[in-house]
C-alpha cells in the first residue's frame, strides 16, 4: 500500500515514510491510495474471530510492505490489552466504551500503535532517532506520553497550555519522565499548535533532526481507530439491525476511521458526527460552505476544534461529492447546556454516568433515531467520566471513585519546563 498527499504535490510514500514524516512535504495529509476490501465472508464470520485476529486482518493491507506479519501481530497484542465493551442502555441504544486503556481516553490505541511502529522503524537501519512533537489541549498529551514511554529511538516533546488542562490531564503528561518532556506554554492551545506547526517548517530543525507529529494527522494514529467500529460490529451483529454510529468529534479522525471501516465493507447504515458549539462541519453539511473559525472553549474540551484537520480525508472518501457524503454521514452540534442536561437524562433514566464527550455523542444519536426509530444506535464513549470530574460531579451531584490508572498518577510530582515563544522551543529542540 502506498500513501499519497491530499494536496497532490508530493511523491507517493510507503506506510513507514508516512509515519516518520507525519505530514507530506506539500503540507497535505497522507491518505491510502486504495481502500482494501475485507470481504463479505470476513463480516459474516466475524463473531468467530478475536480482537487480535480482526485487527490483524484490517491493518495488514495498509502496513504489510513495512511491518512483517509477526511484528504486526506483536504490536497489536500490546496495543489491544484492554476491553472495548458495548454497553446496552435502552432497547435501541448502546454505549461503546473506549476508555479502559492506560490514560482512559480513546486515544490510547492510536498513540500506542504509532509508538510501537516508530520504535520498530527506528531500530531498522538508517532510520535514526525520531523526535515526536505534539501540542495538546488535554487528552492527546497523556495518551502519547504513556504510549511512547520507554520506546527506544524516540523522544517525545509535549507542549501544553499552562493552567488550561485539567489536574488529572496535567499529571498524566508531566509525571512520566524518561524519554518524555513536557513543555508548559504561557498561552492557549492555539499558541502551542502554532509553535509545533512552525517547528515542522523550520529548515534548521529539519537539517538537524527527524521531527514527526503524533496528532491524528499521522496515519499510524488515525487508521487503527477503525478497529473500534469493527469490534462493535462484532458485538452488535447478532441483533440483526441496521446500525448507526454517533461519534463525538473534534478533529474528525475517529469518525473518519469509522468511515474507513465502512469502505472496507462493514455493513452500517449511517454515521452521525456530534460536535459541541465548535460547529464547522455541521455548518458545512447545512450550507455546503467550509468556513472554519477560531475554537471556543466548552465542557467537552477535547472537541474544541474550529478547523478539523481530518475532514479533508472524509471528503476524499466520498470523492469530494457532497451528495454522496450526505447519504452516509450527517452532523449536529450541541451546547454545553444541552450536554449537561443529557448527562442528567442518561443518568436519571438508566443510571449510566456519561462524560461530556459521550453525552454529545448520545445527543447526536437521539436526534438521528427520532427520524429513524427502527435502527440500532451506538454512541462512542471516548473518555472515562472521571477525566472530567468537576463537570460530571457537579452536574449529577454525585462523587466518582478514582480508578487505579488515575490513582497512580495522583501521587506523582509534576515535572515540566516553562517556555516562552517559538525561539525558546527551537533552542530546546536543538540542544536536546
Ligand atoms: C480527542 C477526543 C475526541 C475527538 O476525537 P477526534 O478524532 O479528534 O474527532 C472526543 N472525545 C475525547 C474524549 C477525546 O479525547
Tell me the pLDDT tens digit for each residue of 26-51.
Answer: 989 999 999 999 999 999 999 999 99
Q: Residue 52: is its pLDDT beyond 90?
A: yes
DSSP, collapsed to helix, strand or coil, labels residue 268 as coil
Ligand 1 geometric centre to CA of 357 (Å): 8
Residue 267 counted as domain residue: yes
The predicted pLDDT at position 139 comes to: 85
Angstrom CA distances, 402 to 225, 387, 409, stand at 26, 9, 11
Residue 332 counted as domain residue: yes
Distance of CA 133 to the CA centre of its chain: 16
Determine the average pLDDT of the residues in 157-172. 90
Which of 218, 382, 386, 387 should be mutated for ligand 1, with most atoms under 8 A from CB?
A: 382
Residue 177 counted as domain residue: no
Q: Is residue 212 within a helix (H) or strand (E), and if so which, with residue range?
A: strand 210-213
Ligand 1 geometric centre to CA of 420 (Å): 27
Nearest protein CA to atom 11 of ligand 1, as residue = 382
Ligand 1 geometric centre to CA of 383 (Å): 8
Ligand 1 geometric centre to CA of 200 (Å): 23
Determine the average pLDDT of the residues in 311-324. 96
Which of 106, 301, 339 should be mutated for ligand 1, with most atoms under 8 A from CB?
A: 106
Residue 230 counted as domain residue: yes
Ligand 1 geometric centre to CA of 50 (Å): 26
Domain count, the chain: 1
Catalytic residues: 107
The predicted pLDDT at position 164 comes to: 83
Strand bridging mode 210-213 / 329-333: unpaired
Q: Give the phi and the psi of residue 317 in degrees, each rounded to 5.
A: -60, -25
Q: Are 215 and 183 in contact (CB under 8 A)?
A: no
Residue 176 counted as domain residue: no
Ligand 1 geometric centre to CA of 301 (Å): 9
pLDDT band at 411 (very low <50, low <70, confident <90, very high): confident
Q: Are 393 and 382 in contact (CB under 8 A)?
A: no
N-terminal to C-terminal alpha carbon distance within the chain: 35
The predicted pLDDT at position 255 comes to: 98
Nearest protein CA to atom 8 of ligand 1, as residue = 251
The predicted pLDDT at position 124 comes to: 81
Ligand 1 nearest-atom number relative to CA 139? 15
Any idea how long the chain is? 432
The predicted pLDDT at position 138 comes to: 78
What domain range includes position 279? Answer: 85-102+222-399
Task: Output the domain CATH number for residue 251.
Answer: 3.40.50.1100
Strand bridging mode 93-97 / 180-185: unpaired
Which of 96, 229, 251 should be mutated for ligand 1, with most atoms under 8 A from CB?
A: 251
Q: Residue 285: is its pLDDT beyond 90?
A: yes
Q: Residue 294: is its pLDDT beyond 90?
A: no
Ligand 1 nearest-atom number relative to CA 99? 13
CB within 6 Å of ligand 1 — which residues?
105, 107, 139, 216, 248-254, 302-303, 357, 382-383
Residue 292 counted as domain residue: yes
Q: Are 285 and 310 in contact (CB under 8 A)?
A: no
List alpha helices for 202-292, DSSP H. 203-208, 219-222, 226-236, 253-263, 280-287
pLDDT band at 126 (very low <50, low <70, confident <90, very high): low
Residue 194 counted as domain residue: no
Greater pLDDT, 217 or 375: 375
Average model confidence (pLDDT) across the chain = 94
Determine the average pLDDT of the residues in 114-130. 84
Ligand 1 nearest-atom number relative to CA 225? 7
Residue 52 counted as domain residue: no
The predicted pLDDT at position 336 comes to: 98
Ligand 1 geometric centre to CA of 44 (Å): 30
Determine the average pLDDT of the residues in 167-188. 91
Amino acid at each position: 500500500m502506498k500513501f499519497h498527499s491530499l494536496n497532490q504535490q508530493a511523491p507517493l510514500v510507503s506506510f513507514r515514510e508516512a509515519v516518520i514524516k507525519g505530514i507530506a512535504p506539500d503540507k497535505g495529509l497522507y491518505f491510502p491510495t486504495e481502500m482494501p476490501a475485507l470481504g463479505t465472508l470476513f463480516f459474516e464470520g466475524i463473531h468467530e474471530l478475536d480482537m487480535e485476529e480482526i485487527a490483524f486482518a484490517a491493518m495488514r493491507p495498509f502496513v504489510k510492505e513495512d511491518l512483517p506479519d509477526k511484528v504486526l501481530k506483536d504490536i497489536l497484542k500490546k496495543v489491544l490489552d484492554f476491553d472495548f465493551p458495548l454497553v446496552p442502555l435502552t432497547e435501541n441504544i448502546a454505549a461503546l466504551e473506549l476508555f479502559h486503556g492506560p490514560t482512559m481516553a480513546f486515544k490510547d490505541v492510536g498513540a500506542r500503535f504509532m509508538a510501537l511502529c516508530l520504535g520498530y522503524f527506528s531500530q531498522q537501519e538508517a532510520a535514526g532517532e525520531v523526535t515526536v512533537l505534539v501540542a495538546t489541549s488535554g487528552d492527546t498529551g497523556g495518551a502519547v506520553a504513556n504510549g511512547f514511554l520507554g520506546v527506544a529511538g524516540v523522544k517525545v516533546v509535549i507542549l501544553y497550555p499552562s493552567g488550561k488542562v485539567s489536574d488529572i490531564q496535567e499529571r498524566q503528561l508531566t509525571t512520566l519522565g524518561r524519554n518524555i518532556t513536557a513543555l508548559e506554554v504561557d498561552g492557549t492551545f492555539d499558541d502551542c499548535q502554532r509553535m509545533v506547526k512552525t517547528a515542522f517548517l523550520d529548515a534548521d530543525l529539519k537539517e538537524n533532526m527527524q521531527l514527526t507529529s503524533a496528532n491524528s494527522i499521522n496515519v499510524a494514529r488515525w487508521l487503527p481507530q477503525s478497529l473500534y467500529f469493527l469490534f462493535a460490529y462484532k458485538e452488535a451483529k447478532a441483533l440483526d439491525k441496521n446500525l448507526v454510529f454517533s461519534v463525538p468529534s473534534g478533529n474528525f479522525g475517529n469518525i473518519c476511521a469509522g468511515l474507513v471501516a465502512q469502505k472496507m465493507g462493514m455493513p452500517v447504515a449511517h454515521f452521525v458526527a456530534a460536535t459541541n458549539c465548535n460547529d464547522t462541519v455541521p455548518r458545512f453539511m447545512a450550507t455546503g460552505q467550509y468556513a472554519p473559525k477560531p475554537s471556543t472553549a466548552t465542557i467537552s474540551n477535547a472537541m474544541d476544534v474550529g478547523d478539523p484537520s481530518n475532514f479533508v480525508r472524509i471528503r476524499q472518501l466520498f470523492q469530494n461529492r457532497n451528495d454522496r457524503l450526505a447519504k452516509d454521514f450527517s452532523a449536529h452540534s450541541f451546547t454545553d447546556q444541552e450536554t449537561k442536561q443529557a448527562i442528567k437524562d442518561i443518568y436519571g433514566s438508566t443510571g449510566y454516568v456519561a462524560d461530556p464527550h459521550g453525552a454529545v455523542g448520545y445527543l447526536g444519536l437521539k436526534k438521528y433515531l427520532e427520524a429513524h426509530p427502527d435502527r440500532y444506535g451506538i454512541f462512542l464513549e471516548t473518555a472515562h467520566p472521571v477525566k472530567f470530574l468537576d463537570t460530571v460531579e457537579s452536574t449529577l451531584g454525585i462523587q466518582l471513585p478514582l480508578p487505579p490508572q488515575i490513582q497512580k498518577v495522583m501521587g506523582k510530582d509534576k515535572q515540566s519546563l516553562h517556555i516562552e515563544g517559538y525561539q525558546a522551543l527551537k533552542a530546546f529542540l536543538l540542544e536536546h
